[in-house]
Structure 1
Amino acid sequence: MTTGAILVALGIALSKHSCMGTAAISSMPAVFTDVSAAHGAEWMTMGAWTFVFNLLFLLAEIVLLRGEFKPIQVLQLPLFLVLSIAVDAWLWALSFVPADSYPLQAVFLALSIITLALGINLQLAPDLVMCPADAIVQVVSYVSGRPFPKCKVIIDVTLMSVAAAVSFAALGGLHQVREGTIIAALLVGRAVGLWGRVLKPTLAWLIPPSPRTFIAPLIPKDGTRARNASNRMVVEDAEAQAQGAAAH
């Protein structure tokens, strides 16, 4: 889990260092970092805003899952604290690496997409605790019944669009959201699915199923809510048809 969070932080830092636009998952923290700097609050770093937005995502999980949210999942807090610190640490380390040509920036962007997708997969594999920015995608996938990669793309595009709107409103132009943000929003979700297929045999060997669960997973492994909702709709439709037939 921690390794996955550190890799996600590296992916975020690589996307920002590429100067082609930050990854969609970090577009809001990146824009708000610029807004803070413009108003003299340089101490609100990219890592600090990453912490703030992950806290908001955690609250969104609680709202969406309601009674199904497991209190043990509050352990996401220390995990995204690690993520936030790692983002600033990676940004500092990458500041010594030149990215002064467009081809080199494109390489950093590609590495960002690959690293983000790998980090997300390493968080998903144990099915225990993950960073809220990724966990919220799992929750939306569970609640809506849609595949994780598709929900990832939808949420990334939404975050990117809101970040662009905030940038125009607060900074008078487009900051931190560029072609790289769009490319990442469209490709990270697909890369997650690809990494999942590639890593499945290895992760099954590294993380064997255990008969004892020490940490309740964020969502049921069988996706029961989506199936139960679908079954309930079928039953309700059948009952409505039966009542209509009886009335006639």
Structure 2
Amino acid sequence: MDYEKIIIYIIGLNFLALGIVLNISTGLGVAALSSSIYTTSQIFHMLLGTASIIWYIMFVGIQCLLSKRITKEYLLEIPLSFVFGYLNDFYDYIIHITPSSFVYSLLLLCIALLCISLGVYLTSETNFVLNPGDGIVKTISEVFHYPFYNVKNMFDISMILCSLVLSWITHNPIMGIGIGTIISAVMIGRLIKVWQYLLQKRLFIEV
């Protein structure tokens, strides 16, 4: 039955990448996890996918340090970083949305957060290789014995702080952070819990 999990996993990765790009398109600020990635791409004039690869490789290193071991799962996150980076660039290339009003932006933000949280939930529940942005959250959760969705909220907020610090030390204006970023930091962890309630028995007991 592993092929069913593989399908769920691929769907989850695509929802996650799609949600990140939609979040950027809102004009209300990027997703909290992506804030440091987006800031890096803007400051150093690189593709979003390239910046995500750099950050994700750092996340893999932090996972190894926190858990005090190097595992196959951690190492597999490195090639996944490249795949997910290219997936981000793909959706960024094909999606060109400019909201015409604040209400439209909020609606788009809601869709983006639903996509991101669903993507995180599906990829984490399959127990395959996580993208490093979620892998580091899972590692922190396991090492310090906190619920995954609570750690997700705290980690997202820390990424916003990293973005602010990066802008400050490079003497650049704050980029990509807005009300949408704050909402995503507060809501994504909670939405993951909602998806868990709605889909756990439907998908992951039978699969």
Shared fold, TM over 0.5: yes
Secondary structure of the residue that 1:197 maps to in structure 2?
A: helix
Partner of 2:6: none
Shift of 1:205: 4.3
The within-5 A match list for 1:83-232 is 83-95=84-96, 97-207=97-207
The structure that has the greater radius of gyration is 1
RMSD: 1.5
Shift of 1:18: 0.7
CA-to-partner distance for each residue in 1:155-191, whole Å, 9 max, x for gaps?
0001111212322443532210111101100000111
Task: Give the count of matched residue pairs.
Answer: 199
Looking at structure 2, the residues matched to 177 and 158 of structure 1 have their Cα atoms a distance apart, in angstroms, of 13
Looking at structure 1, the residues matched to 145 and 73 of structure 2 have their Cα atoms a distance apart, in angstroms, of 24
Determine if the alignment matches structure 1 residue 81 to structure 2 residue 82.
yes
Runs (5+) with no aligned partner, structure 2: 1-8
Partner of 1:22: 30
Secondary structure of the residue that 2:170 maps to in structure 1?
A: helix
Looking at structure 2, the residues matched to 161 and 72 of structure 1 have their Cα atoms a distance apart, in angstroms, of 28
Runs (5+) with no aligned partner, structure 1: 38-43, 208-248
Shift of 1:98: 3.1
Looking at structure 1, the residues matched to 18 and 126 of structure 2 have their Cα atoms a distance apart, in angstroms, of 20
Runs of 4+ in 1 over 3 A off after TM superposition: none
Partner of 1:49: 51
Partner of 2:5: none
Looking at structure 2, the residues matched to 177 and 146 of structure 1 have their Cα atoms a distance apart, in angstroms, of 27
Secondary structure of the residue that 1:74 maps to in structure 2?
A: helix
> Larger relative contact order (C-alpha < 8 A, sep ≥ 6)?
2
